[in-house]
């Protein structure tokens, strides 16, 4: 049976455009905040790395808290959209604040300013916005194919934004004078772009009602309000949830260390503008891969085999980058960077659909929904992975003896930059590949649904002897009038939905089920006759 469609093409595109907003924040910070702080303000890479790591402790708590708050939200805009809309204004303000640290301040005051602004941005505003944005995948459609399409469109916008920011930012900053004021002005421009794109995304879609989300299953009508916070935490022990969170962390760790490419281009290749060239080599194949991912997944039938094959290619591609660097060939590095990105695209395009499957797995096992907290894994993974990755990069630079703004760096610093850019992303991809072999949630959900189908089929067989167990499914209902009485459904206590008329025996062949009032009347007539 073909799944019901809920979205038009403009709903999907509008939703996807929301990642422009997320990435003018994320890409601008991850790729440039470290070099802005070290080379423009003269701050220590090691201290900055430590502050970023400490900030992530707050993020770890806030993701779960905001996920829970969203689950409890009821408004005319829905559960997720209000959080997504209002939180981004805070994101925009804090992004500007980070790149507007007064140069007249002392170093301690500058570190404090950065820490407060960075923590507010990540632990509060970006968390609320990103969790809500991710959860919309499960709240605006129940169609699996549409969810995959939305994920692909979303990440196309994400990588397109990343590509643009990595390509133009250095040139724009230089054109504006290259100092602290230039960084602040660029931040203001990106913040405005983010506000506009986030607003478009919010009002391009509409959340389904709780009734429609629960259609076909009375148990599903139980909202997240029926689940206590402690119960929700216990349900998050779902092993698939743990796997996807670790995958998120590793993916963002990969990205964070790869974003140290500005140091690699500047001090190893000798041209900072090559960052834009590599951005094209990385992001264009990603976008192409995201375009074809829905088609491939639809053809194969499952996401897991597609993502596994993709990451085999990704690992081989990153090893090729290492080989190209050892040969001193920028051309080979560009080629294998593109190949690795193409291999990574299937997982990027199916992430939200996989989280929706994991959330469904929790429901099938426990009959309880915690969509908001489940989707918090995306924000948790982004923050922990990017934060720890950036922190580790800062520490490694410090250990290597990196000196901010120096024309010539020590050999130890150069070797450390090579290790960060070449080997750390390769190791991260290899670990993700291993984890994907255990992410068989789709297969498990099919098994659980089959078990439920069988249980309900047996219940129907016991209640209506004239119907074979093979002629019903768990998602079907027996209409009362078809069984000879308006109260038949209730009297049998069936919880089945939409029984396929083609699989039902003819009504005249069904056992006669009479209303109790009718049966009593007939019995009385018989007694009178006797």
Each residue's pLDDT tens digit, 204-254:
988 887 777 666 554 444 444 566 667 766 766 678 888 988 898 898 788
- Is pLDDT above 80 for 370? no
Q: What percent of the chain has pLDDT over 70?
A: 79
The CA distances from residue 260 to 257, 268, 386, 527, in Å, are: 5, 12, 11, 92
- Is pLDDT above 90 for 112? yes
- Is pLDDT above 80 for 520? no
DSSP structural state of residue 453: H
Q: How far apart are CA 524 and CA 168, in angstroms?
A: 90
Query: Which one is predicted more confidently, 469 or 208?
Result: 208
Question: Comparing C-alpha atoms, which of 332, 331, 306 is closest to residue 319?
Answer: 332
Give yes or no for a contact between 25 and 194, defined as CB atoms under 8 angstroms apart. Answer: yes
Q: Where in the chain is the domain with CATH 1.20.1250.20?
A: 9-439
Q: What is the pLDDT of residue 408?
A: 83
258 falls in which pLDDT band (50, 70, 90)?
confident
Question: Comparing C-alpha atoms, which of 94, 259, 285 is closest to residue 166?
Answer: 259
Q: What percent of the chain has pLDDT over 90?
A: 32
Strongest mean pLDDT among 129-133, 236-240, 454-458: 129-133
Q: How far apart are CA 222 and CA 210, in angstroms?
A: 9
Q: What is the pLDDT of residue 436?
A: 95
For 528, counting Cβ atoms within 10 Å of its Cβ (0-12 exposed, 13-18 middle, 19+ buried), the class is exposed
Q: What is the pLDDT of residue 113?
A: 97
- Is pLDDT above 90 for 291? no
Residue range 321-332, pLDDT digits in tens: 999 999 999 999
Question: Comparing C-alpha atoms, which of 113, 74, 146 is closest to residue 294?
Answer: 146
Q: Report the 10 Å Cβ neighbour count for 179.
A: 11
Residue range 379-414, pLDDT digits in tens: 666 667 777 777 888 888 889 998 877 778 889 999
The average pLDDT across 150-169 equals 85
Q: How far apart are CA 460 and CA 464, in angstroms?
A: 6
Class of 9-439 in CATH: mainly alpha
The region that residue 178 occupies, defined by phi over 0 for left and psi between -120 and 50 for alpha, beta otherwise, is left
Strongest mean pLDDT among 73-82, 88-97, 208-217, 474-483: 88-97
Residue range 508-517, pLDDT digits in tens: 444 444 444 4
Q: How far apart are CA 21 and CA 483, in angstroms?
A: 55
Q: How far apart are CA 51 and CA 460, in angstroms?
A: 61
- Is pLDDT above 70 for 333? yes
Query: Which one is predicted more confidently, 345 or 154?
Result: 345
Give the DSSP letter string of 404-437: TT-SS--HHHHHHHHIIIIIHHHHHHHHHHHHHT
- What is the helix, strand, coil percentage profile of the chain, to 5? 75, 0, 25
Poorest-pLDDT segment among 91-105, 146-160, 268-282, 307-321: 146-160
Query: What are the residues whose beta carbons fall under 8 Å from the beta carbon of 218, sequence distance 6 or more?
Result: 495
- Is pLDDT above 80 for 103? yes
320 falls in which pLDDT band (50, 70, 90)?
very high
**pTM for this model (two decimals):** 0.65
* 3-state secondary structure (DSSP) of residue 112: helix
The average pLDDT across 106-131 equals 93
Question: Comparing C-alpha atoms, which of 485, 495, 494 is closest to residue 516?
Answer: 485
Q: What is the pLDDT of residue 88?
A: 96
Poorest-pLDDT segment among 16-30, 321-335, 427-441: 16-30
Q: How far apart are CA 109 and CA 111, in angstroms?
A: 5
Q: How far apart are CA 132 and CA 503, in angstroms?
A: 41
Poorest-pLDDT segment among 66-70, 188-192, 308-312: 66-70
The average pLDDT across 194-207 equals 93
Q: How far apart are CA 434 and CA 476, in angstroms?
A: 39
Mean pLDDT for the chain overall: 80
The average pLDDT across 277-304 equals 88
């Amino acid at each position: 049976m073909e799944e019901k469609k809920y979205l038009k093409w403009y709903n999907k595109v509008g939703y996807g455009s929301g990642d422009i907003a997320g990435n003018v924040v994320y890409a601008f910070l991850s790729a440039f905040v470290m070099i802005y702080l070290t080379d423009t303000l003269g701050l220590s890479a090691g201290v900055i790395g430590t502050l970023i790591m400490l900030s992530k402790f707050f993020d770890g708590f806030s993701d779960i808290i905001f996920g829970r708050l969203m689950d409890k939200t009821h408004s005319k805009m829905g559960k997720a959209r209000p959080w997504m809309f209002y939180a981004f204004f805070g994101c925009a303000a804090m992004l500007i604040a980070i790149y507007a640290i007064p140069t007249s301040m002392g170093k301690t005051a500058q570190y404090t300013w950065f820490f407060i602004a960075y923590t507010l941005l990540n632990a509060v505003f970006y968390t609320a916005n990103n969790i809500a944005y991710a959860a919309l995948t499960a709240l605006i459609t129940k169609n699996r194919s549409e969810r995959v399409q939305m994920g692909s469109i979303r990440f196309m916008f994400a990588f397109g934004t990343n590509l643009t920011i990595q390509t133009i930012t250095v040139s724009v900053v230089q054109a504006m004078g290259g100092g602290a004021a230039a960084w602040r002005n660029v931040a203001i421009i990106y913040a405005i772009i983010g506000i506009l794109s986030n607003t478009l995304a919010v009002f391009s879609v509409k959340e389904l009602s709780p009734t429609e989300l629960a259609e076909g299953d009375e148990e599903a009508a139980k909202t997240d309000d029926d689940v206590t916070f402690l119960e929700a935490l216990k349900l998050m022990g779902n092993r698939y949830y743990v796997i996807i969170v670790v995958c998120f962390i590793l993916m963002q760790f990969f990205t964070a260390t790869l974003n140290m490419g500005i140091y690699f281009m500047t001090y190893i290749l000798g041209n900072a503008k090559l960052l834009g060239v590599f951005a094209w080599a990385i992001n264009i194949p990603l976008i192409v891969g995201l375009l074809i991912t829905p088609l491939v997944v639809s053809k194969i039938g499952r996401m897991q085999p597609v993502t596994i094959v993709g990451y085999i290619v990704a690992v081989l591609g990153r090893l090729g980058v290492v080989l190209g660097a050892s040969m001193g060939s920028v051309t080979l590095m560009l080629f294998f960077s593109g190949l690795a990105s193409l291999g990574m695209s299937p997982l990027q395009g199916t992430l939200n659909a996989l989280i929706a499957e994991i959330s469904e797995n929790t429901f099938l096992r426990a009959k309880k929904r915690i969509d908001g907290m489940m989707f918090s894994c995306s924000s948790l993974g982004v923050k922990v992975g990017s934060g720890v990755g950036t922190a580790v990069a800062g520490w490694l630079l410090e250990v290597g003896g990196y000196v901010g703004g120096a024309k010539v760096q020590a050999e130890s610093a150069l070797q450390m930059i090579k290790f960060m850019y070449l080997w750390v992303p390769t190791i991260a991809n290899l670990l993700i590949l291993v984890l994907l072999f255990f992410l068989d949630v789709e297969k498990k959900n099919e098994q659980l649904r089959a078990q439920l189908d069988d249980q309900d089929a047996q219940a129907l067989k016991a209640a209506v002897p004239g119907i074979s167990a093979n002629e019903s499914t768990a998602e079907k209902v027996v209409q009362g009038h078809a069984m000879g009485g308006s109260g038949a459904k209730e009297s049998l206590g069936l919880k089945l939905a939409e029984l396929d008329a083609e699989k039902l025996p003819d009504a005249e062949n069904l056992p006669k089920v009479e209303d109790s009032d009718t049966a009593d009347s007939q019995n009385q007539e018989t007694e009178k006759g006797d």
